[in-house]
Homo-oligomer: A and B are copies of this chain.
Amino acid sequence: MQQQMAVVTLGIADPARSRRFYVDGFGWAPVFESAEIIFYQMNGFVLATWLASALAADMRRPGAAAPGPTSGPAGTGAVALAHNVGRRDDVDPVMAALERAGGTILRPADAPPHGGYRGYVADPDGHAWEIAWNPAWPIDPQGHVSFGL
């Protein structure tokens, strides 16, 4: 399947503190922001910063503590990677293939309120992959993903 990652999501504890690092430190401009999530359009994918508790709940992986720079990221639920697919019917077969290849289903696919269809699989080392059909975010033939509304 397409060699593509659509989103890197970092769990955060304090949106204003995190925003200062990315906007003032890196000098990057958000493409969308709300009280709990910010999206940055990157080079062919989207970087998201999201409240760690919401991210952990979304991937059915409770236990994320508020992480800090010295302690390192929270042990569970602090990072998610996403691979997007072009059709709703592609999500379940991809998740099944990953499970057969040693992955662990964290959350079977279902439809989120904002549309689309997605689930989460952990790789053998525990790194979480969201497998998502998101019709609002275009994917070009090279696999480059753009933020859309």
Contacts and interface: CB of A to CB of B under 8 A. Distances in A.
Contact of A52 (B2, B3, B52, B125): B125
Copies in the complex: 2
Nearest to A12: B125
A13 interface: yes
How many residues of A sit at the interface, in one of the four size bands? 35 or more
Given A8-B5, A98-B26, A102-B17, A69 B144 contact: no
B42 A4 contact: yes
Given A71-B126, A72-B61, A104-B69, A29 B3 contact: yes
Interface of A: 1-5, 8, 10-14, 17-18, 20-22, 24-29, 40-45, 47, 52, 61, 63, 66-79, 81, 83, 94, 97-98, 100-104, 122-128, 142-145
